[in-house]
Chain A
Amino acid sequence: MGYQRYDLAPLTHSIDLFLYNHLPATWAFIAEMTIIGVVFLIFYAVIGLYLVLAERKVCAFMQNRIGPNRVGWFGVIQTIADLFKLLMKELITIRKADKFLFNLAPFIVIIASFLGLAAIPFAMGLHAIDFNIGIFYIMAVSSVGVVGVLLAGWSSNNKYSLIGAMRSGAQIVSYELSVGLSLLVIAIYSGSLQLSTIVESQADAWWIIKGHIPAIIAFIVFITAGTAETNRGPFDLAEAESELTAGFHTEYSGIKFAFFFLAEYMNMFLIASVAATVFWGGWMPLHIPGCEGFNNAMDFIPPICWYFGKTAIVILIMMWFKWTFPRLRIDQLLTLEWKYLLPINLVNIIVVALIVLMGWYIK
């Protein structure tokens, strides 16, 4: 297939070989790890910062505003300036707060979002770890972030934060289930939990096209549940600025607050990449069965562009949600999950199983 011309596996492999040929094994290992670590760190920071900027721009355009436009050309370095400002701010600790947990919480949210990044296939042959249970892994890791939110709210010794924490507790017990079950649909279709395999299985067409109605339903459910799991509006109950001032991070200041912020955006990125990978074919170019010429033309666009393009669209949809809908109430949050998303999911899975059994999907 044409898209294989952009396979990055030889490149990474050659770097690997180069290091091991020129350095002792231990040092080569350390050097390789350092390179990967630094690359991901920079990637993480840049994506996080620019997502913040993108959100501000998107919401501004939706609200007939311009958004950041002072720092740099069209505000392109606005968030970087913000980051430095936050770095230079004093960290305030609250009297009687549970200091250990208070300091631990930002670590947990960042670790959770950073670990998730490890399993994402960015392009052909470009992923840190190709788990054979990739979907499962991302599900597990991304649900840890809420624990950080819970801890942050609880340890702050602030009543608003506590209520926010309790709300995030409710979030824990709900949306993870829907995320898992909606991803299951594609797992049934493709017969694998490995993200690279799932992407490869979409070489002829994406699952959202091949899997037609159940896949579309699963996608909608996934986006809804994913938005909820990342604590974003309209599910930002733990934060709920009009009710709880700032919810769980009321007492966080400076860079610690920035990490919650960053983690929220990275979680969004994570959810969007999973959605793009699983439903929209990840880095796989748009292929229509039977149109060879079209497919070849599409193959000329590098996979990494496809991946980021799709992710950006899903992120845009999630931002669109946030800037359109009013916030749900806590009981409605649970009602939505248990009375709507879960039954829909269960029925959807049976339907998919039937479709797979009968072969009614586009093979």
Chain B
Amino acid sequence: MEQEQLKEKIIALLPEAEFNVNKQYLDINVPSDKMHAFVKLLKESDDLKLDYLFCLSGVDWKTHFTIVYHLTSTFFGHSLVLKVKTTGRENPEVASVADIYATAEFHEREVYDLMGIKFSDHPDLRRLFLDETFIEGFPLRKDYKDEINIIER
């Protein structure tokens, strides 16, 4: 499916979606409250069928975080990038999509572990790579300081 067609369909599904500039994929911002329902719709709608979440990442933008979902359809081959902004840096929270994409469960755990973004309704939100007893913040945040292990260049 061409990006233009995809764009039209997305607008039909979610009128408030903002489109970002991205040469590679169709890239949209989704309001965090609509996020879960929208993703469910994307997966289940017959002409989109975005059934494969191949990447889920968190980006620290210093004022807020974005969660980036890379979705693709194994039926039609089109891809889509969703972005969800969190409100502020303190206690960021986004709805979990683990019930829609099973793989998201551990990608979200990773994001929680390294960035400290909470995913509501996540089945098992624990630290993944780091020890359970690791409490000194979240390493992948830009303001993370560790005098011993990080050498500033």
- Chains A, B in direct contact (C-beta < 8 Å): no
Q: Residues of B with Cβ closer than 8 Å to A?
A: none
Q: Residues of A with Cβ closer than 8 Å to B?
A: none
